[in-house]
Every structure is written in C-alpha cells, then in structure tokens.
Amino acid sequence: MSNLPHEPEFEQAYQELASTLENSTLFQKHPEYKTALKVASIPERVIQFRVVWENDKGELQVNRGFRVQYNSALGPYKGGLRFHPSVNLSILKFLGFEQIFKNALTGISMGGGKGGADFDPKGKSDSEIRRFCVSFMRELSRHIGADTDVPAGDIGVGGREVGYMFGTYRAVRNRWEGVLTGKGGAWGGSLIRPEATGFGLVYYVQHMIQYASGGKESFKGKRVAISGSGNVAQYAALKVIELGGTVVSLSDSKGALIATDAAGFTPEIIDQIANIKLNRQALTEFSDPKYQYIEGARPWTHVGKVDVALPSATQNEVSGEEAKALIDAGCKFIAEGSNMGCTQEAIDAFEDHRRAVKDQAIWYAPGKAANAGGVAVSGLEMAQNSQRLVWTAEEVDDRLKQIMKNCFENCLETAKEYVSPAEGEFPSLVAGANIAGFSKVAAAMREMGDWY
C-alpha cells in the first residue's frame, strides 16, 4: 500500500511465500486461504520503545527497542531477540513472518514473533552490555511471559545477554518462569540448545541426501562449504565432520576462511575459531598456513568443487551469481542455516536448475525448514521448564532428530500434493515448507475466528 514505508526485507519474505502459494494448487483447493494470507501478513502487535542506558564514561545513550508479536494462533509468540545496528522494523517483520511458519513446521505449540534493538554489542564492556540489557528488559517485560511471548537469542544475543535479561525479568516481575529460552544449564536451560540449529540443519540435509540417493549416500565423503562462524556454523561443521564430511570454509562479516588442505577444517581448528568469536574478534585473528583468509569475500566462489552448501551467517548471503557458481561447482544440496540466506535470484536459479536437470540438479531447502532445529529445542526447553524437569542430552538430541525427520517428510509430501513434480524431478522443498507451514497456521486461525 502506498501509505506504508518501504520494507524490502519483509516484502521479499512475503513475496517469496505468496508466489509459492499462488503457483501451487493450494488456492484452487482452498480459495478461502487467500483471505488468510492477507490477515496473516499483518502482525497482531508491534511494540517499539526507547532504551536509555549509560556507558562506562557515564554518558547517556539511547537506542530503539522492538518486539513484533506476529501470530499466536499455534501458541505463545516465539522468536529471537537481535542486537545489531542494522535492526529495523523491516528486518524484524521479515524474521517474525518467517518464524510463524518455521515454528509451525516443528509440530510444537508455538506462534511467531521477533524482536531486538539497534544496539551494537561489539566493542562494549560487560558492564555496558549488562546495563543495556537491564534497560531493554525493564520495558520488554511488560509485554512477554511464559504463556504470552517467549523470546530467545539471535545475532548479538547469547547466553550472557539472556542471563542479564532473565535476571531483570525475574526482579521486575517477581516471577521465575520459562520466559526466555537459551538460558544457562543451571537455571532452566536445555542441553543441546547451543548446538540445535547447526545439528538440526545437518540432520535435515542428511534426509535430503538419503532421499536423493535412494538411501545409498550420506555426508561421508562430501565436501561441504559453510558460511558464518557463530553457533550455527560451528556446530553444523562439527556434525558434518562427525558424519564423515569435509568442511572447506567458514566466514564472518569481514571475509571468508578457506581450507587449502584436503583435510579441511578439524574440530580443533573450529574450537580455536569458537574462542575467537567468544571474545568478539574477527576471523582475521586466526592464522594457519593451511587456511586462506580472503578479505571482503563470501565462500561460494572460492571453494572449488563442493557437494553441499550451508549458508549460516545472515540474510541474502547467496546472490544469483553465487548460486550459479555453486551449480557450476557441482553442488547438489543447499540448505539455509541462516534466515532467508539466499536472495530471490538465487532461489530462482536453484529451482530452475531443479526443474531442468531433474534428479541430477541442485536441491534447495529454505531456512524455515532446514534451520528449525534451534527453535524446536527452544520449544523443548519451554516444555522442560513447564514440567520443572531436565532431559538428558541424548533425550533432547533424539527428539531433535525426530522433529527434523518429520519436518523434512512434511515438506516433501506437501510439495508432492500441491506442486506435482515432473517425472524424475525432486519435489520443491521451498514450496512444501511454505505450504505446509502456512496451511497449518491458516487452519488454526480460521477455527478460532481470526478470519472466515
């Protein structure tokens, strides 16, 4: 609408979903769902507030805080908090919109939301971060609760920040409840939560590989390019190595780190990188002759022949040209560890190749399905908090594996039903994820009278 501000990230996410639904048979079978899309595309509530805090010099600072409570048809709003200078309503609306359908695909009772602030934690002291978190949560605490809205971490928000915010919520509201996920293990956190997104991503792709090969192949022997170097990338890399694959790249916002040795990255090297990132330093701090750092680059055009690509850094990190480079490099599987990691041009290139080359093509999985493991284990953390129980790492990991298996099969079968693939063609997982997630939310909204 002409009276609304331009929101490019949100508009991209909306158009990607809408075009998928329109190009399927969903609206033919359920024409009333067009109305559901109009309703679901508008958040139930958008909260914006100022965050006033004091730096170590005693100077007053102010930032903008946000929470987009997008859809609660399937459960309490659920989605992360992002602290980054790029944060604005367009980015948070895109993330919250995606979160609705991602959460639906987990099978756990969670709605969708997202929040954060345009605060940059880089270069800040622990005391400054604590003071910011306290001020931020004093306002946000009015709008969240274990049965209302349960935020988690995201970019710039890790265990330290969650701890500061949980402590503030507990003091302000005089309640101990599972209001945040990603908590410390000694005070309500779940085992496997830090690993969950990366592990779940690899579990999802494992099912893609097994389906495409008729059960004959796995990650064993595969060359895997990964972007990012945070939790998602680190744990995806470790799981790939555990399953017999070779990780050939990682990256950060300043450049890409490429393995020049056939052995690729080792768990020991990944541990070194994790420590660098824990200290909020760039990959330029890492030095080893077996790894080449390329400043200002992303990995995709520098890794040579690869079998699997896992973008795990941020949105729009694979362009149309880079998508074609991955196809030319023989990549057979690409799945987003980040949210909306591929541009629309990249997705179009992957989907065109899937249709043209059939079962020899690259096969693309969107983030709302492939990286759902993180929020799935957040949902499991909520369940443990409600029961005042702690499950073992093995229990949580087994549940995560089952959730990712169910998610893959749901996307696969839904794609077959609503976007019939041609002979020898892989089903469209992006179509399957979009239709399966949207249909579940739309049906729940209708039964509650949100639209009719």
Does the pLDDT value for residue 306 go beyond 70? yes
Measured CA to CA in angstroms, residue 421 lies from 171, 174, 219, 425 at distances of 55, 55, 25, 6
Any binding-site annotation on 41? Answer: no
pLDDT tens-digit map of 42-52: 999 999 999 99
Question: What CATH number is associated with residue 130?
Answer: 3.40.50.10860
Kindly state whether residues 358 and 217 are assigned to the same domain.
yes
Q: What per-residue confidence (pLDDT) applies to 34?
A: 95
Known catalytic membership, residue 114 = yes
Residue 399 CB partners (closer than 8 Å, separation 6+): 376, 380, 391
Catalytic residue among 38, 57, 93, 114: 114
Kindly state whether residues 109 and 212 are assigned to the same domain.
no
Q: What is the rounded average pLDDT of the residues 303-309?
A: 97
Kindly state whether residues 74 and 112 are assigned to the same domain.
yes
CB 203 within 8 A of CB 236: no
Which one of 320, 354, 369 terminates a domain?
369
Mean pLDDT (the chain, rounded): 96
The β-bridge relationship of strands 291-295 and 149-152 is unpaired
Any binding-site annotation on 378? Answer: yes
Does the pLDDT value for residue 1 go beyond 70? no
Distance of alpha carbon 95 from alpha carbon 435, whole angstroms: 18
Any binding-site annotation on 277? Answer: no
Q: What per-residue confidence (pLDDT) applies to 421?
A: 86
Measured CA to CA in angstroms, residue 277 lies from 164, 198, 220, 283 at distances of 20, 16, 28, 8
CB 226 within 8 A of CB 249: yes
What does pTM read for this prediction? 0.94
Which one of 369, 395, 415 terminates a domain?
369
Does the pLDDT value for residue 322 go beyond 60? yes
Kindly state whether residues 341 and 292 are assigned to the same domain.
yes
The amino acid present at 183, given as its one-letter code, is K
Q: What is the rounded average pLDDT of the residues 77-99?
A: 97
Any binding-site annotation on 102? Answer: yes
Any binding-site annotation on 197? Answer: yes
Which one of 342, 369, 396 terminates a domain?
369
Position 334 confidence tier, pLDDT thresholds 50, 70, 90:
very high
pLDDT tens-digit map of 219-273: 999 999 999 999 999 999 999 999 999 999 999 999 999 999 999 999 999 999 9
pLDDT tens-digit map of 18-48: 999 999 999 999 999 999 999 999 999 999 9
Distance of alpha carbon 281 from alpha carbon 122, whole angstroms: 9
pLDDT tens-digit map of 138-172: 999 999 999 999 999 998 999 999 999 999 999 99
Q: Is 133 a member of any domain?
A: yes
Q: What per-residue confidence (pLDDT) applies to 5?
A: 86
Question: What CATH number is associated with residue 204?
Answer: 3.40.50.720
Longest dimension (CA), the chain: 68
Any binding-site annotation on 153? Answer: yes
Distance of alpha carbon 178 from alpha carbon 385, whole angstroms: 6
pLDDT tens-digit map of 410-433: 999 999 999 988 899 999 999 999
Kindly state whether residues 165 and 284 are assigned to the same domain.
no
Any binding-site annotation on 182? Answer: no
Tell me how crowded residue 34 is: count the other CB atoms within 10 A of its CB. 14
Q: What is the rounded average pLDDT of the residues 350-370?
A: 96
Kindly state whether residues 357 and 212 are assigned to the same domain.
yes
The string of DSSP letters for 356-388 reads HHGGGS-EEE-HHHHTTHHHHHHHHHHHHHHHT
Position 2 confidence tier, pLDDT thresholds 50, 70, 90:
low
∠ CA 65-40-25, rounded to 5°: 140
Kindly state whether residues 83 and 218 are assigned to the same domain.
no
Specify the number of domains making up the chain. Answer: 2
Q: Tell me which residue range forms the domain holding 154.
A: 42-173
